[in-house]
Amino acid sequence: MHAIHGDQNGPHPFQIIAKHPLTRILVPLGIAAAAIFGVVHLSDGISVAQVHSDARGQSWGALAIAFCAMALSYFFLAFYDALILPTYSDVKIPAPALMATAASSLRVGLLFL
Q: Which residue has the higher pLDDT, 11 or 28?
A: 28
Residue 108: band (very low, low, confident or very high) from pLDDT cuts 50, 70, 90: low
pTM: 0.47
Q: How far apart are CA 93 and CA 79, in angstroms?
A: 10
Looking at residue 100, what is its pLDDT? 78
Mean pLDDT of 87-111: 72
Cross-strand bridge partners of residue 10 = 7
SS3 106: helix
Nearest residue to 98 via CA among 86, 113, 83: 83
**Residue 27 to residue 35: CA distance in whole angstroms:** 12
Read off the amino acid at residue 33: A
